[in-house]
Each structure stands twice: as C-alpha cells, then as structure tokens.
Amino acid sequence: MSSRRNLSATKDAAGRSDWRFAIRALRHRNYLLFFSGQTVSLIGTWMTRIATSWLVYRLTKSAFLLGLVGFSGQIPVFLLGPRTSKRRERKTKRTHRRTGRVSST
C-alpha cells in the first residue's frame, strides 16, 4: 500500500485532516511510555531554563547577563555542530544514532 494512498485516506468528505492516524501510534505501550517520558523531560528542561533565566534577571537586573545565560545554553551546539556534521557524513547511520543518543543525555 503506497504512502500516498494512506495519506489521502486521512481526509474526510469535507477535506479536513483526520488525526486518528497520528494518535494510532500511542496504542503501543512502548511508544506511549517513550512519548510520555519525552514530554515530561522536555517540560522539565523548559522549566529549568525559564527558572534559571528568571533567577539571573531577578538577582542582577542585567539584560546582558540574561542574554549570556541564554547563549550559554547553546554553546555546545554552537561549538560542536560543525565538527559533528563533518563526522556524520563519514559514519554509518547506526553509529550516528548511538552518538546522538549519548550526546542528548
């Protein structure tokens, strides 16, 4: 069955999208656990970033330090991004997935 056929089957008579195909993955226990865990983790990360920024601004009243805190959270991506993109082209997908999992924790 082609993917085009599956996607066209997700539209109702009025042409609106039907989200049942996206929610169908949540029926599987492992994916539901993964999705729930990632949601909680992401919310925790957002809360930490906002709380840290809020605390820095409240203690110092400095927009510069607030910007510095925001930028410092992006330093690993800024410094390692170009280097890892070169390596990615040379390595297999399997090795890259392992590296991505380790670096994201």
Q: Is the pLDDT of residue 89 over 50?
A: yes
One-letter amino acid identity for 89? E
Q: Is the pLDDT of residue 42 over 80?
A: yes
- CA atoms of 66 and 64, how far apart (whole Å): 5
Tell me the Cα Rg of the chain: 21
pLDDT value of residue 50: 95
Q: Which residue has the higher pLDDT, 12 or 29?
A: 29
Query: In angstroms, what CA-CA distances link 3 with 6, 7, 9, 45, 69?
Result: 5, 6, 10, 35, 44
Give the list of residues 6+ apart from residue 42 with CB closer than 8 angstroms, or none.
Answer: none
Q: Is the pLDDT of residue 46 over 70?
A: yes
Q: In the chain, pLDDT over 70 holds for what percent of residues? A: 63
